Amino acid sequence: MSSSVTSRPTALYGGQAGRRVTVRDVAAAKERGERWPMVTAYDAMTAKVFDEAGIPVLLVGDSAAMVVYGHDSTLPVTVDDLLPLTAAVVRGSSRAMVVADLPFGSYQASPQQALETAARFMKEGGAHAVKLEGGRRVLPQVEALVSAGIPVMAHLGLTPQSVNTFGGYRVQGRGQAGDELMSDAKDLEYAGAFAVVLECVPAELAERVTRSLSIPTVGIGAGPSTDAQVLVWQDLMGLTPHPAKFVKKYFDLAGEMDRAVRAFADEVVGGAFPSAEHSYH
SS3 50: helix
Name which of 86, 156, 91 is nearest 119 in CA terms.
Answer: 86
d(CA 51, CA 134) in angstroms, rounded, equals 29
In the chain, how many H helices and how many E strands? 11, 8
d(CA 195, CA 22) in angstroms, rounded, equals 12
Name which of 99, 106, 176 is nearest 138 in CA terms.
Answer: 106
| 125-137 exposure pattern, b = at least 16 Cβ within 10 A, e = fewer | bbbbbbbbbbbee
- Selecting among 133, 143, 189, 199, the annotated active-site residue is 199
**Taking CA 196 as the corner, what is the angle to CA 145 and CA 233, rounded to the nearest 5 degrees?**
105
d(CA 43, CA 89) in angstroms, rounded, equals 5
Among this protein's residues, is 180 annotated catalytic?
no
**Residues with catalytic roles:** 199
